[in-house]
Amino acid sequence: MILKTFGWSFGVTAMGLAAAFYFWGWEGFAVVAILSVLEISLSFDNAVVNAGVLKKMNAFWQRIFLTIGILIAVFGMRLVFPVAIVSVTAGVGPIDAVQLALDDPDQYEQMVTDAHPSIAAFGGMFLLMIFLNFIFQERDVHWLGPLERPLARLGRIDAFSVGVALAALLLTASTVATHAYQHGGTYSDESSTVLLSGIAGLLTYLVVGGLSGFFENKLEEDEEREEAKAEEAAEEARAAGQQPTVVGLAGRAAFFLFLYLEVLDASFSFDGVIGAFAITNHIFWMALGLGIGAMYVRSITIYLVREGTLDDYRYLEHGAHYAIGALATMLLVSIRWHLPEWVTGGVGVALIGLSFWSSVRANRADAAARREDDSSDESAIPSGV
């Protein structure tokens, strides 16, 4: 199971580290390895949330997520995205941006750093909406009941999460963004940039999340109808002495869930790409290191789905969404203040670790309660002579 799920990740790791050593020696090897670990630590909560969405897809779309999806994640967000930032901010073509990254990496890093307010606002608002929609939703299982139950009641108000997100964006634009950090330790007023980018992130979530939710609901309705038809066909087949067949569904619902996952992954990768510049501004080292880390995030996602980990550990998804809320807050705060990578990664890992520990304790309590019930039932049965 481990080799089947992580085989591609192991292979890409070996090839990536070998290429780094072949072209750049031990320095390149070490930096690529460090970036890989950085990406995994910053994106573990991404894997947990991805698993919650991916388990709704069939095996075909899970394979698409691991193949086409990983190409988008590695080449799109880890290689093309930093180049696109420089291309847009500097007003140069993509080829010129790559040449700039190779010839003058310091200026390349400066341009990416100066574009951070707009990146953080877009990604922060997208992730904040994910957290708010989770925390304001009615659910049967609560991790932090005294906090989650009243928030779920507030979520009954129409568009309440959107209102909270817009209030957070206005507060960020009017306070934090007025002294946004720029390369070289200078500050500038990026209020309008943050406001526009944040609204774009919010709209992206509403469009992609809304479409995926719409088609997911439609898929459930279609599945119910198809199940009824399949049951009728199965009864007819049995009556005729034939073996009934099973028909699976996918279609547009799975496609929009896939699209939602890719946008979600892109939002999570913002902090990884920006944080990588604290370690190196070598474009190919970044692409290799972050790409290897992205492969493991994908493999961990598949592992969680196939092992049913989210069902076995009931609070794990809660911890991941709290980590998303923390990351969204830190992205918005980082517009003005630099946060060390160990903080952004460590908070998420700590929250997920706490939710895992709480899940283990709850499972042990349930098992103990079942043993007590079984023993009480046995003692209630009269013994015969």
User: Which one-letter DSSP state was computed for residue 115?
Assistant: T
Give the DSSP per-residue string, 222-248: HHHHHHHHHHHHHHHHHHTT-------
Q: What CA–CA distance (Å, rounded) separates 50 from 189?
A: 35
Confidence band for 384, pLDDT divided at 50, 70 and 90: very low
Q: Is the CB of residue 176 less than 8 Å from the CB of residue 331?
A: no
This prediction has a pTM of 0.71
Q: What CA–CA distance (Å, rounded) separates 303 from 77?
A: 23
Which one of 89-103, 175-189, 229-243, 278-292 scores highest in mean pLDDT?
Answer: 175-189
pLDDT tens figures, 88-106: 766 677 788 778 777 887 7
For the ranges 24-33, 114-123, 241-250, 351-360, the lowest mean pLDDT is seen at 241-250
Rounded mean pLDDT of 126-155?
88
Please give the single-letter amino acid code of residue 286: M
Confidence band for 34, pLDDT divided at 50, 70 and 90: confident
Q: Is the CB of residue 344 less than 8 Å from the CB of residue 42?
A: yes
pLDDT tens figures, 303-329: 887 777 777 888 888 888 888 888 889
What local confidence, expressed as pLDDT, does residue 194 receive? 92
Rounded mean pLDDT of 31-60?
75
pLDDT tens figures, 3-19: 777 887 888 899 999 99
Q: What CA–CA distance (Å, rounded) separates 116 from 274?
A: 8
Q: What CA–CA distance (Å, rounded) separates 364 from 254?
A: 36
> 176-181: long-range contacts at Cβ-Cβ below 8 A with a sequence spacing of 24 or more?
176/332, 176/333, 176/335, 176/336, 177/117, 177/121, 177/335, 177/336, 179/336, 180/116, 180/117, 180/335, 180/336, 181/113, 181/116, 181/334, 181/335, 181/336, 181/337, 181/338
What local confidence, expressed as pLDDT, does residue 318 receive? 87
